[in-house]
Amino acid sequence: MDFSELMAEMADRFGIAGEASPDKDGVYRLGADGVTVAFMEVPEMNAALVFGEVCELPVEGRERFLTALLRENFMGRGAPGGAFSLSEGDKVYLHRYVDLPSAETGAFCTALEDFVAALVNWRNLARDYGPVAAERAAKAASDAEAAQGFLQV
């Protein structure tokens, strides 16, 4: 299945067909459960990348936060099928690659629901690690809540 077909079928399955369109960079965004999840094609890997921002890396409690993040992600248990990364701007992201040739809409949507649940969980946990992280997570959750249930362009 190709990326645009997968996005169209996902949108149809979630009842948002017609609203699913990429931005100028080819990124689709879906607001769900108070978070924004983004999707983009990675042609050189023949994959789709699904990602969402967890939080800004906290200034206070940074070591404790990173230790908790790594410990909870031991052998992938804290991010089913996904991984964590840290951007140049010190933002923590959860991401997952989906192999397009083997992608099936039902399995993809189930994996997406699991991804969103993990992202929401990590967002909530991040609020416990310093004031900057808490303020950022609260704002991001508020922004995503306003967009809940539809793809943003």
CB 38 within 8 A of CB 51: yes
CB 150 within 8 A of CB 16: yes
Residue 131 tokens, joined = 């004031």
Chain centroid to CA 64: how far? 23
pLDDT band with cut points at 50, 70 and 90 for residue 129: low
**pLDDT of amino acid 132:** 52
Query: 99 vs 132, which has greater pLDDT?
Result: 99
**pLDDT of amino acid 52:** 92
β-strand partners of 94: 52, 84
**pLDDT tens column, 10-65:** 777 777 656 667 788 888 887 777 788 888 888 899 888 889 998 888 777 788 78
Is the pLDDT at 103 greater than 70? The verdict is yes
CB 98 within 8 A of CB 47: yes
Is the pLDDT at 145 greater than 60? The verdict is no
Residue 137 tokens, joined = 């997570």
CB 127 within 8 A of CB 16: no
β-strand partners of 98: 48
The whole model's pTM is what? Answer: 0.73
Query: 3 vs 46, which has greater pLDDT?
Result: 46
**pLDDT of amino acid 153:** 40
